[in-house]
């Protein structure tokens, strides 16, 4: 059964009268996502924050570094590099502010959030290139940032989970060891619509139509079989970082997240699967309205502590 908090969120969405995302202009969709997060999310807890920049293919990529207040500024901390969701088309540094600050505080780590370029203005591979540039920057500048460059994780939600999975594959091939990849209801396959697309096509927040709109704008005609777009289609997954894969029962993306976890496990990659059978896509950032968000945050923090402090 659908969680009561999730049901209440869906009722709020319906009562707002907002048209479906895929029927809006890009700017209207971005404003709608910002408004939803304002209504459903909490303000970030007090942590240390620093605005930094990575050298990207077309100039500076804005980053925000979070550190727990209880950590001495000169002590190198493990880090998670976070890529926000929003269909590769919406979202910014504010999108994941509560999640990043809360995770830094609760896990006792640094978190670097990446403001990558968005489609449709900058379709694939622009966003991914910025994420890779951010990861390189964190590794290269680790001493100056009081980060332990030998203990790095990547993570993201939805489209950000897609970028995190692709970055984990890239890091393996580049010889940059990662300690973990945190994939929250990730997009893993742009070639095929899996079974949950039909089962959860409409009525649960994220719709199949909205996902098609996001995917088409980001892909922009590129080969959907490219592993950088569809990590599930990568020929080899052996040797990538250990993964936490979180999926939701009422989510169009549920089945492709499960399929990716299956492939990782089959390749000998340690996988921690967390299934919220009663939740909808996006709930982890909705701590103001969905009580399960705090539980999920604690599970993610525990996973990162286990991987980064081992």
Looking at residues 84-108, what average pLDDT do you find? 97
Looking at residues 71-94, what average pLDDT do you find? 96
Total domains in the chain come to 1
In the residue annotation, 157 being an active-site residue is answered as no
Q: CA 42 to CA 62: how far, in whole Å?
A: 23
Q: What is the pLDDT of residues 30-76, one digit of tens each?
A: 999 999 999 999 999 999 999 999 999 999 999 999 999 999 888 99
For the cut 90, the answer to whether the pLDDT of residue 129 exceeds it is yes
Cβ-based neighbours of 252, under 8 Å, separated by 6 or more: 196, 197, 200, 201, 204, 206, 207, 208, 211, 281
In 3D space, the residue among 102, 86, 50 whose CA is nearest the CA of residue 295 turns out to be 102
Distances from the Cα of 34 to the Cαs of 131, 154, 171, 260, in angstroms? 21, 24, 31, 29
Sheet holding 48-56, edge to edge: 48-56, 59-67, 110-114, 77-83, 147-157, 180-184, 243-250, 271-280
Please state, for a pLDDT cut of 70, what percent of the chain lies above it: 100
Given 84, 137, 194, 281, the catalytic residue: 281
Average pLDDT, the chain: 97
What pLDDT was estimated at residue 204?
A: 97
Cβ atoms < 10 Å from Cβ of 43:
11
Looking at residues 219-240, what average pLDDT do you find? 98
**Element at 5 (helix H, strand E):** helix 4-16
Which range marks the domain in which residue 56 is found?
A: 4-309
The answer to whether the beta carbons of residues 112 and 78 sit under 8 Å apart is: no
> Is the alpha carbon torsion for 139, 143, 148, 154 positive or negative?
negative
Q: What is the CATH number of the domain that holds 192?
A: 3.40.50.1820
The answer to whether the beta carbons of residues 81 and 60 sit under 8 Å apart is: no
84-101 b/e with 16+ CB inside 10 Å = b?
Answer: bbbbbbbbbbbbbbbbbb
What pLDDT was estimated at residue 270?
A: 98
In the residue annotation, 158 being an active-site residue is answered as yes
Given 3, 157, 251, 258, the catalytic residue: 251
| Token duo for residue 125 | 């591979």
Please state, for a pLDDT cut of 90, what percent of the chain lies above it: 98
Looking at residues 265-270, what average pLDDT do you find? 98
Q: What φ, ψ does residue 248 adopt, rounded to 5°?
A: -125, 140
Instruction: Give the E-state strand segments of the chain in sequence order.
Output: 48-56, 59-67, 77-83, 110-114, 147-157, 180-184, 243-250, 271-280
Given 36, 158, 196, 230, the catalytic residue: 158
């Amino acid at each position: 059964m659908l969680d009561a908090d999730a049901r209440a969120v869906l009722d709020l969405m319906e009562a707002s009268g907002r048209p479906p995302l895929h029927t809006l202009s890009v700017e209207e969709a971005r404003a709608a996502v910002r408004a939803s997060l304002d209504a459903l999310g909490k303000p970030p807890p007090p942590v240390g924050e620093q605005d930094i920049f990575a050298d990207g293919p077309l100039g500076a990529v804005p980053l925000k570094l979070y550190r727990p207040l209880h950590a001495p500024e000169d002590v190198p901390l493990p880090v998670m590099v976070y890529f926000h969701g929003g269909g590769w088309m919406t979202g910014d540094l504010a999108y994941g502010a509560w999640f990043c600050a809360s995770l830094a505080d609760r896990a006792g780590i640094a978190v670097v959030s990446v403001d990558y370029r968005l489609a449709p203005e900058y379709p694939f591979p622009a966003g991914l290139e910025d994420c890779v540039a951010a990861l390189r920057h964190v590794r290269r500048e680790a001493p100056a940032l009081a980060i332990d460059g030998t203990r790095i994780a990547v993570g993201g939600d939805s489209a950000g989970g897609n970028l995190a999975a692709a970055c984990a594959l890239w890091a393996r091939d580049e010889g940059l060891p990662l300690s973990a990849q945190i994939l929250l209801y990730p997009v893993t396959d742009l070639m095929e619509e899996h079974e949950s697309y039909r089962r959860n096509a409409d009525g649960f927040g994220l719709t199949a139509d909205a996902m098609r709109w996001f995917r088409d704008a980001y892909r922009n005609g590129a080969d959907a079989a490219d592993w950088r777009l569809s990590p599930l289609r990568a020929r080899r997954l052996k040797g990538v970082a250990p993964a936490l894969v979180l999926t939701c029962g009422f989510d169009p993306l549920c089945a492709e997240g499960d399929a990716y976890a299956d492939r990782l496990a089959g390749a000998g990659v340690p996988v921690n699967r967390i299934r919220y059978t009663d939740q909808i896509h996006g709930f982890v950032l909705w701590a103001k309205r969905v009580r399960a968000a705090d539980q999920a945050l604690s599970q993610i923090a525990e996973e990162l502590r286990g991987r980064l402090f081992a």
